[in-house]
Amino acid sequence: MISMSPLTSLTFIEHRARVTAWMEPRSLAVVNNNDVLPTNADGTLILHPNSDLFYLTGIEQEESVVLLFPDAHEEKNREILFIRDTSPLLEIWEGTKLTKAQASERSGIRRVEFLSSFPTIFHALMCEADNVYLNANEHSRAGTVLETTREARFVRDCQARYPLHRYHRLARILHRVRAVKSAGEIGMIRRACGLTRDGLLRVARFLRPGVNERQIEAEFAHEFISQGGRFAYSPIVASGVNACALHYIRNDMPCQDGDLVLLDVGAALGNYNSDMTRTLPVSGRFTARQRQVYDAVWNAYQACFAELKPGLLAKDWRRFAQQAIEKELVDLGLLTVEQVKSQGPDKEALAKYFMHGVGHSIGLDVHDVQLTEAPMEAGWVMTCEPAIYIREEGFGIRLEDTVLITQHGAQSLMADIPMEAEAIEELMNSPAEGVGDSEE
pLDDT per residue as tens digits for the range 286-344: 999 999 999 999 999 999 999 999 999 999 999 999 999 999 999 999 999 999 999 99
Who has greater pLDDT, 146 or 375? 375
Q: What's residue 420's pLDDT?
A: 98
pLDDT per residue as tens digits for the range 273-301: 999 999 999 999 999 999 999 999 999 99
Domains contained in the chain, CATH given: 9-179 (3.40.350.10), 183-428 (3.90.230.10)
- Indicate the pairing of strand 236-239 with strand 260-264: antiparallel
Q: pLDDT class for 432, splitting at 50, 70, 90?
A: low
Q: What's residue 140's pLDDT?
A: 74
- Per-residue burial over 199-221, b = 16 or more CB atoms within 10 Å of its CB, e = otherwise: bbbbbbbbbeeebebebbbebbb
Q: pLDDT class for 147, splitting at 50, 70, 90?
A: low
Q: What's residue 138's pLDDT?
A: 79
Residue 307 to residue 427: CA distance in whole angstroms = 28
Q: State how far Cα 406 lies from the chain centre.
A: 19
Half-sphere exposure of 147 (CA within 13 A, CB side): 0
Q: pLDDT class for 143, splitting at 50, 70, 90?
A: low
Phi-psi region of 41 (alpha: psi -120 to 50; beta: other; left: phi over 0): left
| Contact in structure between 242 and 279 (CB atoms under 8 Å) | no
**Eight-state DSSP code of residue 165:** S
Q: What's residue 429's pLDDT?
A: 93
pLDDT per residue as tens digits for the range 42-100: 777 788 899 999 999 999 999 999 999 999 999 999 999 999 998 888 888 888 999 99
Q: What's residue 48's pLDDT?
A: 85
Mean per-residue pLDDT, 114-127: 97
pLDDT per residue as tens digits for the range 1-45: 344 457 999 999 999 999 999 999 999 999 999 887 777 877 777
Q: What's residue 433's pLDDT?
A: 54
Of all residues in the chain, what percent carry a pLDDT higher than 70?
96
Q: Decide if pLDDT at 346 tops 80.
A: yes
Burial of 44 (0-12, 13-18, 19+ CB in 10 A): exposed
Q: Which residues have CB under 8 Å from 81's CB, separation 6+?
A: 57, 59, 64, 65, 66, 67, 103, 104, 107, 109, 111, 112, 113
- At 121, phi and psi to the nearest 5? -65, -40
pTM: 0.93
Q: Decide if pLDDT at 168 tops 80.
A: yes
Q: Decide if pLDDT at 382 tops 90.
A: yes
Mean per-residue pLDDT, 359-379: 96
* For the chain, the helix, strand and coil percentages under 3-state DSSP, each to the nearest 5: 40, 15, 45
Burial of 60 (0-12, 13-18, 19+ CB in 10 A): middle
- Return the closest-CA partner of residue 376 out of 302, 307, 301, 309: 309
| Contact in structure between 364 and 272 (CB atoms under 8 Å) | yes
Q: What's residue 220's pLDDT?
A: 98
Of all residues in the chain, what percent carry a pLDDT higher than 90?
86
Maximum C-alpha span of the chain: 74
Burial of 92 (0-12, 13-18, 19+ CB in 10 A): exposed
Mean per-residue pLDDT over the chain, rounded: 93
- Indicate the pairing of strand 395-398 with strand 387-390: antiparallel
Tally of CB atoms within 10 A around 126 = 16
